[in-house]
Amino acid sequence: MIVSRRPAGLADDSPSLAALSNREHDILRQIVAGRSNPEIAAEFFISVNTVKFHVANILRKLEVRSRLDAAVLFTAAGSGGSE
């Protein structure tokens, strides 16, 4: 069973990271782990298009241009630990 929750150590004073939904945090952790959209879709039992939608929202909310930039920001905030 997959449980949506924000990672411990999330920097709450970072408005961009705090703006992410629980599902967006789940998706971002998968991006940090190097997973592709189809792998993420299979993990969460959602469509690839839904993953793309979440990724686009993550990039917009974090004000970054790529998955790599989002992963670096997330990890730099101390939130990139894998579970």
pLDDT digit of tens for each residue in the chain (83 aa)?
A: 454 444 444 444 455 889 999 999 999 999 999 999 999 999 999 999 999 999 999 999 999 999 999 999 999 988 655 44
Q: How far is CA 68 from CA 2, 3, 39, 60, 82, in A?
A: 24, 24, 17, 14, 16
Give CA–CA dist 46/10, Å, rounded.
Answer: 25
- How open is the CA angle 38-43-46, to the nearest 5 degrees? 70
pTM of the full structure: 0.77
